[in-house]
Amino acid sequence: MVLWFLILIPMLAAPLAWIGQQWSRHVARWIAIGALATDLCLALLLWSQDHSGQVSGHGSWLFESHTSWIPLWGISLHLGLDGLSLVLILLTAFLGLIAIVASWTEIQSRVGFFHCNVLLALGGVIGVFLAIDLFLFFFFWEVMLVPMYLLIAVWGHANRRYASFKFFLFTQAGSLVLFVSIITVAFLHQQATGRPSFDYADLMRLTLSKEMAWWLMLAFFIGFVVKLPAPPFHTWLPDTYTEAPTGASIILAGLLAKTGAYGLLRFTVPLFPEVMSEFAPIAMGLGAIGILYGAVLACSQTDLKRLVAYSSLSHMGFILLGAFAGTELALQGVVMQLVAHGLSTGALFMLAGALYERFQTTDMRQMGGLWGVIPRGASMALFFACASLGLPGLANFIGEFLVLFGSYSAQPMVTILASIGMVMAAVYSLGMMQHTSFGPQRETRLAPDLSNVVFGALLLMAALQVLLGLYPRPVLTTTRPVMETLVQPAVPSSHLTHPPSDQMPSANLFTSHVSSP
Amino acid sequence: MLKLLWLIPVLPLAGFLVLALCGGRLSRRQVAWVGCGSVGTAAVTTALVSVDFFQGFPDRAFYQQTLWNWIDTSGMTVGVSWYLDALSLLMVAVITGIGFLIHLYSVEYLSGDDGYSRFFAYMNLFVAAMLTLVLADNLLLLYLGWEGVGLCSYLLIGFWYREPEYGTAAQKAFIVTRIGDTAFAIGLFILFTQLHSLSIQQVQTLAAEAWPIGSTRAVIVAALLLIGAVGKSAQLPLQVWLPDAMAGPTPVSALIHAATMVTAGVYLIARMHQLVALAPLVQETVAVIGLLTLLLAACSALVQRDIKRVLAYSTMSQIGYMFLALGVGAWSAALFHFLTHSCFKALLFLAAGSVIHSLHHEQDIFRMGGLRRQLPVTFWTFLIGAAAMSGVPLITAGFYSKDWILWSVWSSPLSHHWIWFGALLGTLLTGLYSFRLVIRVFFGEAHTLASGEPGFAMRVPLVVLALFALTIGFLEVPHTLGHLSLFSPYLSHVLPTLEIRAGIDESSETLEQIAVTCSALLGIGLAAVLFLPRFNFIERCADMPAGHALATWWQNGWGFDRLYDRLIVRPWLHLTRDSGEILDHGSKLLVIGAESCHAWLSHTQTGHVRWYAATVAVGTLVLLGLFAL
């Protein structure tokens, strides 16, 4: 049941925040903060339980909740939590709090509705990370979309209508592909066993013909990659990230993109072992192209938010590269990159938002010499620019390097190509610093430096970057069992040898109901 | 005391953290104490550690200390671990010792600057990163230090951030070295994929077992590491960042050139010498790169106007000597030259800083002159530095190290005689450009009035370094001159000693030394003839068109900047000039397609009943026809 709490707390707090607005704007904000903080504490509590020595395996979850929903179609309310989803839920709750702090002064109109949408979207994201029934998964996948659309369309910048439409159409088209393939998989399960099933464990056991597996993998790939995104499905990204309000940009880049990555890791990679070896080089190549393409475009930008958006695209390339490398090291790198990118890009968007509040622009041609004006902001920008360019000792470095180390053994040439992105990352990150913080001061208006709250939030993210960069073990040990199962020799029959979930020890207080699928 | 090893890099790091987090609230005096004190205590700790190290030496040739497991997952185990042996102790001693003197000097040099605490924060981080680099037990931690050094050089070169050119120079330094770093990283990927380890010692043992000498893998990996080293050490073809790096405050240049950064490449190759030895082709390339760099840079140093740029090119040239020594297998000689070079180069930069300081930031040597009376301490220390750099025989340290290198080049089985002649030409050029500088700055007519000698904090480092520049060479005196050998036995536990090639007579060493001595003295003499105002020969040369063209070419560093500008920078700018993107046109096409479909279909909605009736009728007929068929 505790897993449902994780989803329901933000979802139920959402209307409360909307209603709370009529008393005071701060009520809405504090309700949102309270809900997310509770979620964060809950997730941390689950994490501390995780250290009790349980081993996660295929179809065996640290915590699980299973209730029948529509038995006729094999649909159930099945949630499962393993190391990967735990790490991502922690990230979601944390970045959700950051997004609310970043919106504190920026959002002044319809405050209650804003926080309502934020909470709904985050509840959907958490649902996506927990659902292991594909129908339920798709439900949450759609739940997070509409509030996100509203966040951009209502509180966005000048070109918000175009951006929000583009975002909605692209992601909805991706969802359609995903939905069709989910239905197909369930249907194929019926053909094979006589009953339809949307359950993850059932579908893992399904053996597909090679051709079928190829098409389904492609569909599952496209469905998730649109969200990630990677070229050529990314063109919604720069417009959307740029036009969205700061809080929504943080959620989009820090969390929505992660749902795409999560989908790839959870479904695309393990469900179709038959064609993995054929498909992997294509996906990895696309990843490398994404790294370079995003980096070149990031170098071309004059708008700060667009630059960060394209750098984000470049970083997502590492995720695609690592997810399909088929080595545990690369997969661990992917997880690290997910967390690290959430922190670094979230912080950069927060800084861009802070600049926008002060100078009503994110055009870098009108900035310069900000080190002398807002030293706190400029020094934090320097720190996160370093994180973004992959400076060793910070978390992004661990992610990128593990991905590259792990990918080299699979695809040396692609990995070398991807490594060139490191040079370009230096070009755009330092270029960003030069245009904003250094050089002669163009903006003569005096602006207040970052407020203590924003500065504190950024310092916290910086501390996490350093901590994970020098001591990544907490994350890596949590996700390692999951990643181990992903690279096990993927012969379909071997799935049967894994212990079914009901044989796993369920000595945990939180496990409400453990049943065999 | 060996257990204190971890403190050595941590102390400057702590200094950085204190200054970065609360530097704004400290008084200048406190900032100076923290900034200098952290490096000073690191130097003292180094002394304590080395006492213990020498007690066990040579029975216990190394000491390892693991702080924590950095990465431990999926077959990769990398610790934050230090590895102290003769080589790293030498590096640590130079970094902390000379680093401390430079910090002390900066206390006064930057006393009027706004960014006082920022400066010391960056400097402390620089020292910490360099210490991490040389103490790292594995290549990933070394890479951390390696990139950290790059970052700090970026921050310090662009320290005066309001000047856009300085920012450009800083970015150039970081990006050019990052190209090398990326090659280095790819080398690490290959090493790890093949040998499943990143420990420096283990990797080399495994490589020696797995790869035969000259095997393709060994050559590729060694070549990639070499590219990394070439980038950091400013050797051909990645040398272009160093002259521009003079944008930073002068103590920064001293730190970059003497104690940190540019020597990192030399250290890397020396540290990975077993691997480099597996790839003779690469080792030969190291020698050739060293030779070419030392000659090209020496020529460029001859014609610069900016005092710091002369010194920058001289560093490239001297590092070229180190690469040359590494390339011919004279590992210890390379490190001996590193030791002497860091003393006299730090001295030269600090003395140059003292000149610049007293002339209110004047750096053009043609506007200087006659300063020897006004700045006696600076003059004498600078003279000692220049003499050491040119290798004035017997009394300067530079002579002993350079002579060792040249003798190794002559006698090494890996070398050729033409390389030796090139290196000999280099000594002549060194004497020439060093004393051109001395003569232009300190002799002749005074063009400007100096504001007087620097204070105590700047004078002490100058005098101490001058003493080192004179005496440190006695650690290794060749047997033709009395034979005192302390340095080579010390390093022989880490680095292999050079065998003499068959057919080389040891008695020829004296002859060789005489040649080197004559060449250096000839260079100095020529400088006096060419540059002393009363002869005025060189100005007549430079007035000729050919001489002028040559001088301009050399002054611009042999046109490498222009070449890279055409080959890389301009195509890159062309590529990135447009902030739009091609792939977005695809989605725009969809929009246009949908809109035109809409326009076309909306034509059918005319509102005329006749038209509707007709289309219904035609549609029915078509459908019926299809059924009938």
pLDDT in tens, B282-324: 999 999 999 999 999 998 888 888 888 899 999 999 999 999 9
- Mean pLDDT estimate for chain B: 87
Structure tokens at A178: 């995903």
Task: Indicate if ipTM > 0.85.
Answer: yes
- Say what the pLDDT of residue B538 is: 67
| Alpha carbon distance B72, B74 (integer Å) | 7
Work out the pLDDT band at A308, boundaries 50, 70, 90. Answer: very high
CB within 8 Å: A405 and B192 = yes
Q: What value does the mean pLDDT take over residues A126-151?
A: 92
| Alpha carbon distance B100, B123 (integer Å) | 10
Work out the pLDDT band at B536, boundaries 50, 70, 90. Answer: low
B327 inside domain: yes
Work out the pLDDT band at A505, boundaries 50, 70, 90. Answer: very low
Q: What value does the mean pLDDT take over residues B611-624?
A: 91
Work out the pLDDT band at A444, boundaries 50, 70, 90. Answer: low
Closest partner residue to B68 (CB to CB) among A398, A426, A471 is A471
Domain's final residue, options B505, B533, B561: B533
**Based on the domain organization, do B338 and B417 belong to the same domain?**
yes
- Say what the pLDDT of residue A51 is: 55
Report whether pLDDT(A177) > 50. Answer: yes
**Based on the domain organization, do B366 and B504 belong to the same domain?**
yes
CB within 8 Å: B583 and A235 = yes
Looking at chain A, the whole-number percentage of residues with pLDDT higher than 90 is 47
Closest partner residue to B74 (CB to CB) among A329, A372, A386 is A329
- Owner of token pair 């993850």: A200
Please name the residues in contact with A50: beta carbons below 8 A apart, sequence gap of 6 or more. A62, A83, A86, A478
Report whether pLDDT(A126) > 50. Answer: yes
Q: Is residue B245 classed exposed, middle or buried when 0-12, 13-18 and 19+ CB atoms within 10 A define those classes?
A: buried
Q: A231: left (phi > 0), else alpha (psi -120 to 50), else beta?
A: beta
CB A249 within 8 A of CB A349: yes
Report whether pLDDT(B475) > 80. Answer: yes
**A358 in contact with chain B, both atoms CB, cutoff 8 A:** no
- Mean pLDDT estimate for chain A: 86
E-strand stretches of A181-270: none
- Say what the pLDDT of residue B148 is: 92
**Based on the domain organization, do B548 and B519 belong to the same domain?**
no
**Based on the domain organization, do B545 and B478 belong to the same domain?**
no
**A87 in contact with chain B, both atoms CB, cutoff 8 A:** no
Report whether pLDDT(A507) > 70. Answer: no
**Based on the domain organization, do B428 and B541 belong to the same domain?**
no
Select the more confidently predicted residue: A340 or B457.
A340
- Say what the pLDDT of residue B447 is: 75
Distance from CA of B287 to the nearest CA of A (A): 27
Domain's final residue, options B548, B569, B590: B569
Distance from CA of B151 to the nearest CA of A (A): 8
**Based on the domain organization, do B481 and B541 belong to the same domain?**
no
B1 inside domain: no
With CA atoms as reference, report the closest residue to B563 among B237, B223, B228.
B237
**Based on the domain organization, do B540 and B491 belong to the same domain?**
no
Distance from CA of A172 to the nearest CA of B (A): 14
**Based on the domain organization, do B424 and B493 belong to the same domain?**
yes
Report whether pLDDT(B533) > 80. Answer: no
Structure tokens at A510: 């939180």
B345 inside domain: yes
Work out the pLDDT band at B535, boundaries 50, 70, 90. Answer: low
Q: Residues A271, A273, A279, A281: is their CA dihedral positive or negative? A: positive
Report whether pLDDT(A455) > 80. Answer: yes
| Alpha carbon distance A493, B326 (integer Å) | 57
Report whether pLDDT(A400) > 90. Answer: yes
**Based on the domain organization, do B471 and B423 belong to the same domain?**
yes
Select the more confidently predicted residue: B550 or B166.
B166
- In Å, the largest CA–CA distance within chain B is 119
B561 inside domain: yes
| Alpha carbon distance B274, B279 (integer Å) | 9
Number of domains composing chain B: 2
Domain limits at B562?
536-569
Report whether pLDDT(A478) > 70. Answer: yes
B370 inside domain: yes
Work out the pLDDT band at B543, boundaries 50, 70, 90. Answer: confident
Please name the residues in contact with B626: beta carbons below 8 A apart, sequence gap of 6 or more. none
DSSP secondary structure letter of residue B553: H
| Alpha carbon distance A18, A111 (integer Å) | 8
With CA atoms as reference, report the closest residue to B378 among B403, B353, B360.
B353
Work out the pLDDT band at A488, boundaries 50, 70, 90. Answer: low
Structure tokens at A217: 């993998």
With CA atoms as reference, report the closest residue to B412 among B512, B492, B480, B484.
B512
Q: Per residue in A469-508, is it b (16+ CB within 10 Å) or e — as a string?
A: bbbbeebbebbbbbbbbbbeebeeeebeebeebeebebeb
B225 inside domain: no
Report whether pLDDT(A502) > 50. Answer: no
Structure tokens at A28: 């809405």
Quote the pTM value.
Answer: 0.90
Select the more confidently predicted residue: A366 or A471.
A471
| Alpha carbon distance B275, B221 (integer Å) | 8
Report whether pLDDT(A54) > 60. Answer: no
| Alpha carbon distance B455, B105 (integer Å) | 9
**Based on the domain organization, do B555 and B523 belong to the same domain?**
no
Report whether pLDDT(A498) > 80. Answer: no
Work out the pLDDT band at B42, boundaries 50, 70, 90. Answer: very high
| Alpha carbon distance B118, B323 (integer Å) | 34
**Based on the domain organization, do B426 and B491 belong to the same domain?**
yes
- Owner of token pair 């001591």: A471
- Say what the pLDDT of residue A56 is: 46
B59 inside domain: no
Q: Is residue B102 classed exposed, middle or buried when 0-12, 13-18 and 19+ CB atoms within 10 A define those classes?
A: buried
Domain's final residue, options B486, B514, B533: B533
Q: pLDDT tens, B477-529?
A: 887 777 788 888 888 888 888 877 777 777 788 888 888 888 888 888 888 77
Element (H, E) at B53: helix B28-56
Report whether pLDDT(A242) > 80. Answer: yes
**Based on the domain organization, do B468 and B364 belong to the same domain?**
yes
Q: Is residue A360 classed exposed, middle or buried when 0-12, 13-18 and 19+ CB atoms within 10 A define those classes?
A: exposed
Which site among A239, A328, A430 would you substitute to test the B interface, given the most B Cβ atoms closer than 10 Å to its Cβ?
A430
Q: What value does the mean pLDDT take over residues A372-397?
A: 91
Please name the residues in contact with B608: beta carbons below 8 A apart, sequence gap of 6 or more. none
Q: What value does the mean pLDDT take over residues B160-170?
A: 88
| Alpha carbon distance A74, A66 (integer Å) | 12
Q: What value does the mean pLDDT take over residues B376-393?
A: 89
B468 inside domain: yes
Report whether pLDDT(B166) > 50. Answer: yes
Q: What value does the mean pLDDT take over residues B452-467?
A: 86
